[in-house]
Structure 1
């Protein structure tokens, strides 16, 4: 990564979170160390009604630090909920970013998903990807600082309204065919009730295929999640053990390929008989969520989500703490010139 951005011709725009998560600063600092004044940024501050004073103070500290790390920056504050409690953060951030067009000399746009929520990060990713593809000579990157052990220290209080993420809505059902719907919920610690609400909002499913992190840094993580979700898996969702899906906790491309293969096979199986629909619910690891994001964009899959009203963060160090892992993906740009998705490289 350092070699790529060390090129003096690179002008980079970073879009990232300015929240309470300690990972908020990592990518900004790494890029600033290499790019210097060739880096500009837009930092997104997600405002939630139930945020505690302690988390607001942490976010204020991170925002101040980010303004020092990247001096050419703007901070966009986004109210995630409307006055009536409806989740509107995705629509609002797309509107705000639309008022700040990317400068013509920017060669690379980077979205740091590390500390952005799914309801904000996914619409922003789709918008920036389309903008970069329209520019043709501008690359679009995803970066993630992942730490599953840190994720376990952050719990959320979900809202009561499950719905589609902006830009990833459920398609209109065809009139002449029955619907065969497959739901792929990403299992993560402490989200049983949230996923149950999402499943109820989706409705009847032909199959439910839970997504588990394996291989994982903690070899027992998948087993622990299966134990935690046992009642939901067996009694509520009636999941066939053969339908459980596994994807690497470290590599979003593994998740992308797995979901793409499932989509292709399911479409072929249902062709001419039922209307196939695949719905994703990425609520855990951002690495797996990035794979789900790519699959949703590539195959026009729906993403159903339950927005978070507030978070609880327990930052105290524990003996199981491990170092952060950094993931860097280039999704579009000059590196892919001459590449046709269907035919392969020309």
Structure 2
């Protein structure tokens, strides 16, 4: 097994993020690019507000990704809340550059059918390294971005930095305002009929459907995803399944509750062996990355007589754990065929926007440092 890219690693969380940005941005030569998504999520502006409040004079350009979910999405009825968030953002960035980047989540396939293209469109936002070569720091805030969009976006930035950053590697951060209660109250409605591997994270699996190598599936479990799991299983048809549960977590009984909720699917229908269950810390994407990477590598080594294995990861849990998944797939892309299979929802519903505002302040900021100064050999 090759050395892990992100071990050791750097993550800043909670009340330490404000002092980190204040200290980090003391250097007046820094030029920041901040990327976020326009959406109705109450957490949309938490990270940018903390950055601007802690470093008012910082030289920052903001790219705002606007994604069109189509007229049929249940999320369209929350447009006024997205506009409210936009107004707040414009006030926060007064005098600083705000650039809109519009993408489509769907394309028409004819006769009322449509195909999800948001992941490809997100990757196309960055078409040349010249677009970002002048920035010393790049911050991607995934708090209000769909999973398919931020996976492809972060993957593209990582790829371009690895390929084209020659003189000095820019700092690449992923930030997220984590709040499990908000996630629970934003209900996903309907799932895609067509599922597939995210753009840039297909490994070699999608190219070799008749592969003789065993396929090991690592679903990261979250609440209310029975239909999503069933759909993903039908697409993958894995030889072995290793469910991944969040533990330790803020709710110490969360993993027990998930086991109870999925018991029939996991043990009665899918015949999962209890010893195959994995646990990863709910709020540490780097530790999730380390454990997943080691587990996949161990499977590949133990199955060497069969030319190794292929691995599929599906994340149905928090955005923090999703980033751990992203790092795992990215780090193993050249060594083992690792794909990320996504089962998207067709829209979202919330019972009360005002109730979300009340618990917004309970959100905790995480800054995940992926490239740049801490990792430079010098």
TM over 0.5: yes
User: Are the counterparts in 1 of residues 226 and 262 from structure 2 also a CA contact under 8 Å?
Assistant: yes
Cα 1:195/1:36, change in 2 over 3 Å: farther
> Equivalent residue of 2:108, what SS?
coil
Q: CA RMSD in A?
A: 2.3
- Structure 1 residue 131, shift from structure 2 partner: 2.4
Of 42, 49, 69 in structure 2, the residue corresponding to residue 48 of structure 1 is 69
Give TM-score, length-normalised by structure 2: 0.83
Matched, 1:73 2:73: no
The answer for the alignment partner of 1:344 in structure 2 is none
Of 309, 314, 319 in structure 1, the residue corresponding to residue 346 of structure 2 is 309
- Structure 1 residue 164, shift from structure 2 partner: 0.5
- Structure 1 residue 281, shift from structure 2 partner: 0.5
Which stretches in structure 1 are left out of the alignment for 5+ residues? 340-346
The answer for the alignment partner of 2:86 in structure 1 is 63
Distance in 2, Cα, partners of 1:65 & 1:273: 56
- Structure 1 residue 90, shift from structure 2 partner: 1.1
The answer for the alignment partner of 1:4 in structure 2 is 24
Of 361, 369, 372 in structure 2, the residue corresponding to residue 330 of structure 1 is 369
- Structure 1 residue 285, shift from structure 2 partner: 0.2
Of 266, 274, 291 in structure 2, the residue corresponding to residue 258 of structure 1 is 291
- Structure 1 residue 180, shift from structure 2 partner: 0.9
The answer for the alignment partner of 1:20 in structure 2 is 40
Residue pairs, 1:221-260, within 5 angstroms: 221-260=254-293
User: Are the counterparts in 2 of residues 82 and 88 from structure 1 also a CA contact under 8 Å?
Assistant: yes
- Structure 1 residue 230, shift from structure 2 partner: 1.3
User: Are the counterparts in 2 of residues 179 and 277 from structure 1 also a CA contact under 8 Å?
Assistant: yes
User: Are the counterparts in 1 of residues 216 and 312 from structure 2 also a CA contact under 8 Å?
Assistant: yes
User: Are the counterparts in 2 of residues 184 and 210 from structure 1 also a CA contact under 8 Å?
Assistant: yes
- Structure 1 residue 103, shift from structure 2 partner: 4.4
User: Are the counterparts in 1 of residues 216 and 241 from structure 2 also a CA contact under 8 Å?
Assistant: yes
Q: Deviations over 1:257-285 (max 9, x none)?
A: 11011012111101132440110101220
Residue pairs, 1:120-269, within 5 angstroms: 120-133=149-162, 134-136=164-166, 137=168, 138-157=170-189, 158-172=191-205, 178-203=212-237, 205-269=238-302
Distance in 2, Cα, partners of 1:44 & 1:281: 24
> Equivalent residue of 2:195, what SS?
strand
- Structure 1 residue 125, shift from structure 2 partner: 0.3
- Structure 1 residue 223, shift from structure 2 partner: 1.2
User: Are the counterparts in 1 of residues 138 and 171 from structure 2 also a CA contact under 8 Å?
Assistant: yes
Q: Deviations over 1:277-309 (max 9, x none)?
A: 110101220011011111010012210011221
Q: Deviations over 1:300-325 (max 9, x none)?
A: 2210011221111234549x958212
Distance in 1, Cα, partners of 2:346 & 2:216: 27
> Equivalent residue of 1:83, what SS?
strand
> Equivalent residue of 1:23, what SS?
coil
Distance in 2, Cα, partners of 1:248 & 1:208: 19
